[in-house]
């Protein structure tokens, strides 16, 4: 019985020692808010704003919107970038 308790104590000690590790380094962002806005938010927002338009002239009304699957995929990618950029700003 003593051997059993010693093995349990040894196993528990090894588990505790294995769980101990040095603390992780503090997270330090490398980009400023302005960097994120200039490189991710503004370009993505520009694509979204310019994706749909209605122009009224003397010749008539012209409407612009994504037509092909490729255009819709690009619009979706820019939307995801814009959404995820907010996580970087938090």
Asked whether residue 16 carries a pLDDT value surpassing 80, the answer given is no
**Angstrom distance (rounded) from CA 25 to CA 68:** 47
pLDDT tens-digit readout, 33-78: 999 999 999 999 999 999 999 999 999 999 999 999 999 999 999 9
Residue 36 token pair: 């994120």
Per domain, the residue ranges of the chain are 28-89
Provide the pLDDT confidence category of residue 83 given band limits of 50, 70 and 90: very high
**Angstrom distance (rounded) from CA 45 to CA 63:** 20
User: In angstroms, how far is CA 80 from the centroid of its own chain?
Assistant: 8
How high is the pLDDT of residue 39? 94
Instruction: Please answer whether residues 66 and 72 qualify as being in contact, where contact means their C-beta atoms are separated by less than 8 angstroms.
Output: yes
Of residues 24 and 53, more confidently modeled? 53
Residue 46 token pair: 């520009």
């Amino acid at each position: 019985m003593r051997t059993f308790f010693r093995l349990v104590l040894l196993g528990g000690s090894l588990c505790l020692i294995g769980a101990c590790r040095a603390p992780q380094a503090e997270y330090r962002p490398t980009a400023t808010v302005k960097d994120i806005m200039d490189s991710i938010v503004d370009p993505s927002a520009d694509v979204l704003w310019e994706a749909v338009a209605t122009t009224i002239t003397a010749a008539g009304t012209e409407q612009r919107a994504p037509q092909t699957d490729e255009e819709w995929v690009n619009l979706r990618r820019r939307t995801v970038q814009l959404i995820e950029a907010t996580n970087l700003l938090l």
